[in-house]
Chain A
Amino acid sequence: MAGILLSHTEKVYITHGVKNEYRSDGRSNIDYRPMELETDVVSHASGSARLRLANTDILVGVKTEIDVPKPDKPGLGKIEFFVDCSANATPEFEGRGGEQLANSISNIMLRAYQSAQAFNLKQLCIFEGKQCWKLYIDILVTLCRIGEKCVVDPTAEEESCSLVSLIVGVTGNPKYYNDYEDEEELPAFEAKCSVISMHGPGSVSPQNLRDAINQGIIAAVCLDEALGKTLFRERRDTEQFKRHSYGFLK
């Protein structure tokens, strides 16, 4: 990204706008930009997904291998994250430039999936103490940057005005990820926070932090629902006919 240069007036414009709940592209403070999600883009990986959000493009691949479980956790599988910010995204990521961002993203992912309520590693166990599945999750950031804050899903201009950003990870609603055949007794679901992490060179007042966490969770839950419904629909569609694959050409 050839550096976002904003004049002082532009920064004031953006911050005042956010205070009054409107942004330069017409969204409210908790609206996401339209997102495109496509699964199964990489045929050699066990699973893959591509997410496009305005100018940000991320490719995630999941590979599975059979491995020996850790000696102190014989009944659990393993999951490993690797994030690579490629120089395709922005020239700043060339060489080891993107390493800091990559490290912080993989740290957050690791913490987000630490709890069994986010992702149960027991599912990955094959034979307790002897064999388990190991999932390698590789994340490739191909275009620009990612962020989430009090203004949900900021544009690059908004992000360059901000001093602090907060990342909130929320556990997914199991309703969409399992096959519930009939209208069974679904357990009452309450979204739980899996990871909260702050970024940026500034500090925040306690009230702002509380508001930000609240807003983040609301937005994350909406996003999760939309995502779940889309995946559900996709699974239903692929069962019926061969779907048209878009890939990267679009």
Chain B
Amino acid sequence: MPLDYKRFNGPEDSVSYKRFTADYLKSYDELHSELIDETGHRKDGRAMDEARPMYVRGNFVSQAKGSSYIEMRGTKVVCSVFDPREIVHQNEFSTVGLLFCEVKFAPFACKRQRQSHVPDSEEKALSVALRKAVGPTVCCQLFANFQIDIFVYIIESDGSCLAAAITAAGLALANAAVPMFDVVTASSVAIIGDKIFIDPTEDEEHLAMISPDTNTNHGVITMARLNGLMQIADFRQIGSLDIECILKVTDILEQECQKVFPKIQKTLVGYVKNGIMEQKRLSEEGKAREAKLKDKMLEWRSSIVNNSV
């Protein structure tokens, strides 16, 4: 992990205390059997094909042009989008706009290790993935020579971080009134053997990344989808999977992304309605104030006329 020399770092060879707990010594099979119980439900009580309930909110960060907050039980993600500014570090004119994406974990976000303040390779990879997922929807030709900053901060991570980040970024961009072609939503899936875990938690993802001794399928796939246009914006696979599994999972992921879409739509429509009502209220207030001022003005004029007479 790269060190941040501006801060005080702990001793370099310090190791998480969890290495010395009984949990750490569990074998692959033990961990696997813990994930699913006898009734076929997962550790948190969900069915295999059930996603976590999602709480979605826009207008979360007051200082940003647009922002959003997404919470899926243990995964909490904040996204802020700022006004377009001139492309940094570039002298030549570019005919399209640029998107600058940055994903950052809070130092206390992951349960397995402390994240450093300097972005490490995983965060850089997530930033690139976010840019690829959100890039197709934004109408870059409408802000030539400008860049729009998208910052995603993961407050707590319990699996499906990239999917949550992409959905949050899509919502924040819409909240910021950035011109877009479509709403982008994302979801992910973990595969262990022949079991498919939809919207995996961190434990499930961690186990899916470990390869068992036998040559079975294991891996994590994340997909981002443009729902109105029904196109796939990004598809990311890691692990070792055979082709039928990948094709089957593509269908499952499309449906999952589609399920998230109505929530985002509803949130956005709600904010537009609120915005219109707020405007109406403000303009009415304004008119009432104007009327009062006018009355006062007439009163004052008539009092002057009376006095001078």
Contact = CB atoms under 8 A, between A and B. Distances in A.
Interface in B158-212: 209, 211
B237 A195 contact: yes
B240 A209 contact: no
A171 B125 CA distance: 22
B218 to A, nearest CB: 7
B241 interface: yes
B218 A209 contact: no
A193 B241 contact: yes
Given A71-B19, A166-B235, A203-B233, 5 more contacts: A115-B211, A193-B241, A203-B231, A203-B232, A213-B246
Contacts of B135: 201
A115 B219 contact: yes
Given A117-B215, A201-B135, A210 B226 contact: no
Interface of B: 15, 19, 24, 121, 124-125, 128, 132, 135-137, 140, 209, 211, 215, 217-219, 221, 226, 229-243, 246-247, 250-251, 254
Which of A107, A199, A202 counts the most chain B CB atoms within 10 A?
Answer: A107
A197 B232 CA distance: 12
Contacts of A213: 243, 246-247
13 contacts: A103-B128, A107-B121, A110-B125, A115-B240, A118-B240, A191-B242, A192-B242, A195-B238, A198-B235, A201-B135, A201-B136, A203-B229, A206-B232
Interface of A: 71-72, 100, 103-104, 106-107, 110-111, 114-118, 166, 171, 187, 190-199, 201-206, 209-210, 213-214, 217
Contacts of A205: 230-232
B121 A209 contact: no
A107 B238 CA distance: 11
Given A111-B238, A114-B239, A196 B246 contact: yes
A197 B243 contact: no
B250 A107 contact: no
B148 to A, nearest CB: 15
Nearest to B238: A111
Nearest to B16: A72
B241 A192 contact: yes
Contacts of A217: 243
A202 B219 CA distance: 25
A56 B258 CA distance: 41
Instruction: Give the interface centre of B218, B236, B239 by most chain A CB atoms within 10 Å.
Output: B239
Contact of A209 (B137, B209, B229, B250): B250
B211 A196 contact: no
Nearest to A217: B243
Contacts of B211: 115-117
Contacts of A100: 128
A187 B215 contact: yes
A29 to B, nearest CB: 18
Contacts of B237: 193, 195-197
Nearest to A210: B247
A204 B232 contact: yes
A210 B250 contact: yes
A212 to B, nearest CB: 10
Nearest to B215: A117
Nearest to B247: A210
A192 B217 contact: yes
A107 B130 CA distance: 14
B246 A193 contact: yes
A106 B120 CA distance: 13
A100 B250 CA distance: 28
- Most chain A CB within 10 A, of B15, B218, B238, is at B238
Contacts of B140: 201
Pairs A-B, 7 closest by C-beta atoms: A116-B211, A196-B237, A115-B240, A203-B136, A203-B231, A117-B240, A111-B238
B240 A206 contact: no
Contact of A194 (B121, B132, B136, B240): B240
B136 A202 contact: yes
A209 B241 CA distance: 16
A171 B240 CA distance: 8
A125 to B, nearest CB: 15
Contacts of B242: 190-193
A196 B218 contact: no
Contacts of A118: 240
Contact of A71 (B15, B132, B221, B246): B15
B132 A199 contact: yes
A250 to B, nearest CB: 36
A193 B239 CA distance: 8
